[in-house]
Amino acid sequence: MKEGVARPRKFRDRFAMFSRPKKIGIVAGIIVVILLVFFFINWLLWRMGHVTENDAHISGEVVTLASRVDGWLMARPVIDGDPAAKGQILAQIDDRDARLRLAEVEGNLASANAQVLYSQAQRQTTDLTTQAALERAKAQVAVAKTTLDDAGHQLALAQANFQRNDNLVKSGSTSKEAWDESRTTLLQRQDEQREDAAQLLAQQAALSSALAQRGQVDVLDRQIDMQRKQLLALQAQADQLKQEIHDRALRSPVDGVVDRTLADVGDYVQAGQWVMMVHDPKNIWVEANIKETEVEHVAVGQPAEVTVDAYPGLTLQGHVIRVGNTATNQFALLPSPNPSGNFTKITQRVPVRIAFDKPDRRLKPGLMVEVAIDVSH
């Protein structure tokens, strides 16, 4: 009996040993299903609150440096990938001819400037000299007028004396000698008046000559104005040559990176020819082409996550700064006509620009990225 009772108990123990793993597996499966449902619900909620797109890439202000003049490329101290400071010379085009022409123009400019200074000094001297001569002539004319007026008074007095003596001689009240003396005095006064009148005419002629000499000042003023205009023309030529020399040194417009060099030392560069391309790593953004069926949920200011294909695991934060007003198909070089009348509706894309909150210097224009825009708010 004891043995009969022991066998069923062992059988139950063995059955329990086989059923325990099965129960654990069932429980684990239930837990896995719950977790999957939980993650699926979370993913679904996240997906409902986000607009995702893998048709996106990094863009930036890539500046193309080109020459404004023709010439040989004498130096190019940078290569692709080198950093470039703002104002740094990245390429130098031969400027020897321009410098020689500038030296010639600067020589002519110095000569013209000296001529202007000489003319100004001459004008100042002429002004002082002619002004003094004019004042002296005016004073002499005034003296001559005074002398002539005095001579007129003396002549009037002599005429009165002579007339009185002439009447007295006729009446016998005075002597013939007194009459002769008064007549002589009258004649002298008449001669003096004529001399003073002639002197006045001479002084007036001198005054006219002095006035004419003053006209030299106006002539010198016009000459100085002409010389100054020539000076300005030479200065403009010098500035133009300086600008040409400055343009022959291609400088970096930003603190950035050299993306690509397009000409080598020794190449003949023509005006407008591209020499190299640079961009500012801090001034980059994401261009995402969002489906037209989802763009209604996207608005400026919404946060976004950006993952870069080139750097797995790198996730950057950003925000929407612009939503395009035109679909990308409007900028296609080859439009899609529909002459047959068959129509296939294709979902179009609208460009959306996303700015990085903290740009990473490893990012480069053209890299593909994926974006997730939080449209829940």
The whole-number pLDDT of residue 177 equals: 78
The whole-number pLDDT of residue 21 equals: 65
Residue stretches of the chain with pLDDT short of 70: 1-22, 42-47, 174, 326-344
The whole-number pLDDT of residue 336 equals: 57
Measured CA distances, 106 to 97, 225, 231, 240, 249 (Å): 14, 20, 10, 12, 21
Edge-to-edge order in the sheet of strand 71-75: 249-251, 89-93, 71-75, 268-269
pLDDT in tens, 198-216: 888 888 888 888 888 888 8
The whole-number pLDDT of residue 43 equals: 64
Which residue is listed with tokens 């993913």? 43
- Between CA 63 and CA 77 the distance in angstroms is 18
DSSP codes, 289-338: EEETTTGGG--TT-EEEEEETTSTT-EEEEEEEEE-SS-GGGG-SS----
The whole-number pLDDT of residue 40 equals: 76
Residue 85 is given by DSSP the state -
Strands 71-75 and 268-269: antiparallel
The whole-number pLDDT of residue 5 equals: 47
Q: Is this structure's pTM higher than 0.85? A: no
